Chain A
Amino acid sequence: MGTSTTYTENELVSLLKSRDSRAFGYLYDNYSASLYAVIAQLVDDMEIANDVLQEVFINIWRKIESYDPVKGRLFTWMLNIARNASIDTLRSKSFQNTQKNQPLQEKNEWIERGKTTSVDIDSIGLKKVVNRLKKEYRVLIDLAYFRGYTHEEIAEIENIPLGTVKTRIRSALIQLRDYLK
């Protein structure tokens, strides 16, 4: 596919729904780097991020039929697939075992990669914005968005009432929205 080709979101979605592999290539070219950055922030491991990225795009290909443009934009839908896949991986037994066995090495790989690509994962995307939040908000967004805990689980972990958790997360999100504008 030539770089000159551009699709509107509607065109892209209908081509993907008709199983057009060129449209899939276009989708990958335009969104893989953004989604890869999100996945990298979430799983914190290069090899696993590669696997998750593949899983995410295969799922996009397979589930495109269930995407409903009325409910939101294509990127939002893909972002949620990427987040869910990353959190599932973080929670899987095999991932937790790897982390227990080689915590230093895994971390170092990312530091190395951060250096070579001149990217500090904590300084990009949502994480950069989240880092601007005050600490009590930051902790809750980290648990809820980056680790996928439910509000109930967070109330238990942080030992604060569920209502407080909900209110604080809402407030944090409103601030995030303003930062993103």
Chain B
Amino acid sequence: MNIQEYISSGIIESYVLGLADEAERAEYERMAAIHPEIREAQNAFELSLEAAALQNTIVPPVHIKSKLLSAIDMDEQQPGTPVQPGYKEPVRPHAKVVKRDFTRLIAAAAVILLLMSTALNFYFFSRYREYNEKYVALIQQQTELATHNQILQTRLLEYERAVEMMKDPNMYVVKMPAAPNSPDSTSATTVYWDTRTKDVYLAVNRLPEPAAGQQYQLWAIVDGKPVDAGVFEMREGAGMSKMKNIPKAEAFAVTLEKKGGSAVPSLDKLYVMGRI
């Protein structure tokens, strides 16, 4: 093929303007690689085309440049997007897409945070209720324990007093077993009689629980006559009841009387008796 003919066939213009088909382009590149004059002619046409284009311009809207610069900035921050050699995929609203994606990301993050917060609220509220219930229960238990503690302290004080009395060398102990005709033959009480102060303390060893409206009464036998030494309540533990002061007596006895006590003892209800 004559090179000059080839050069002036219009193939150069066709190639440059992108009108040559695949086979024509391949042939042209083969030819151009061998014959530098083809490239020279091509360059001349390209320069005239470029000169014409640079003389005929329309200035695009100003905002496009800044948009593009921020778009390529964002492009650079996302490396790894493969550059496609072909020219098919439209990438036009790149900046817009990124912006929208960012907004979406923010919205999605907000929704996730809201859901997490709501879940945490439920969690903490149920925990709060649980702990509040536990707290109330603890307060109740604490009150119970305090009450119980008070009871124990009172009882301990009574034991201490009883032990002190039993250890006291001035204390005269009168054992009072069941009387011969006692309604309960297992009954027994003890009187502790302070020989200095003449105070009388009574400890119940065993007595049947009195019926409602009835109460046990202690008597001191003075010169063969019964003298009221006071009524007493049945008590739990080793507690002693302080009775009336008795300056002098030969014996002590306990009868069951009406509540509050009687002036004269009911001898048929004589439970225990002890001589000094």
Which residues in A have some Cβ–Cβ distance to B below 8 Å?
Answer: 19, 21, 24-25, 28-29, 32-38, 40, 49-55, 57-59, 61-63, 65-66, 71-73, 75-76, 79-81, 83-85, 88-89, 92, 117, 119, 121, 124-126, 128-129, 144-145, 150-151, 169-171, 173-174, 176-177, 180-181
B17 to chain A, nearest CB (A): 6
- List, in ascending order, chain A residues with CB within 8 A of B61's CB: 50
B19 touches A37 (CB 8 A): no
Q: Verify if B10 is at the interface (C-beta below 8 Å from A).
A: yes
Which residues of chain A are near B47, meaning CB under 8 Å? 73
Contact status A73-B19, CB under 8 Å: no
Closest to A33 in B: B57
Known: A51-B92, A126-B52, A174-B10. A58 touches B59 (CB 8 A): no
Q: Which B residues are in CB contact (< 8 Å) with A59?
A: 87, 91
- The number of residue pairs between A and B whose CB atoms lie closer than 8 Å in the complex comes to 156
The A contact surface, by secondary structure, is: helix
Contact call B56/A52, Cβ cutoff below 8 A: no
By size class, the interface of chain B is 35 or more
Chain B residues 72-109 with CB under 8 Å of chain A are: 72-73, 75-76, 81, 83-85, 87-88, 90-95
30 of the cross-chain contacts (CB-CB < 8 Å) are A21-B73, A35-B53, A36-B60, A37-B53, A38-B53, A53-B60, A54-B95, A55-B90, A55-B94, A58-B72, A61-B75, A66-B85, A72-B42, A73-B47, A76-B49, A80-B18, A84-B18, A88-B90, A89-B90, A121-B58, A125-B52, A128-B56, A151-B21, A170-B10, A173-B10, A174-B13, A177-B45, A180-B45, A180-B49, A180-B51
Say yes or no: A62-B93 contact (C-beta < 8 A), given A24-B69, A32-B65, A40-B58: no
Whether B68 is near chain A, meaning CB under 8 Å from some CB there, is: yes
Docked Cα-Cα span, A117 to B21, in Å, equals 37
Residue of A nearest to B68 (CB): A57
Verify B58–A174 contact, CB threshold 8 A.
Answer: no
Complex CA distance for A35 and B60, rounded to whole angstroms: 9
Q: Report if A173-B68 is in contact (Cβ < 8 Å); known contacts: A36-B57, A119-B58.
A: no
A37 CB contacts on chain B under 8 angstroms: 53, 56-58
Other 8 A-B pairs with CB < 8 A, given A19-B76, A63-B87 = A54-B94, A55-B92, A57-B68, A58-B71, A58-B91, A92-B90, A125-B52, A150-B21
- Are B50 and A170 interface neighbours, CB within 8 A? no
Structural contact, B17 and A50, CB atoms closer than 8 A:
no
Is B16 in the interface zone, CB < 8 Å from A? yes
Do the beta carbons of A177 and B13 come within 8 Å of each other?
Answer: yes
The residues of B that contact A66 with a CB separation of less than 8 Å are 83, 85
Please tell me which one of the listed residues B12, B19, B49 contacts residue A79 in the complex, with CB atoms under 8 A apart. Answer: B49
A125→B53 CA distance, assembly (Å): 6
- Please, how many angstroms separate the alpha-carbon atoms of A28 and B57 in the complex? 13
The complex places the Cα of A63 from the Cα of B79 at a distance, in Å, of: 14
| Chain B minimum-CB-distance residue to A22 | B69
Q: 7 closest Cβ contacts across the A-B interface?
A: A170-B10, A33-B57, A55-B92, A124-B56, A173-B13, A125-B56, A180-B48
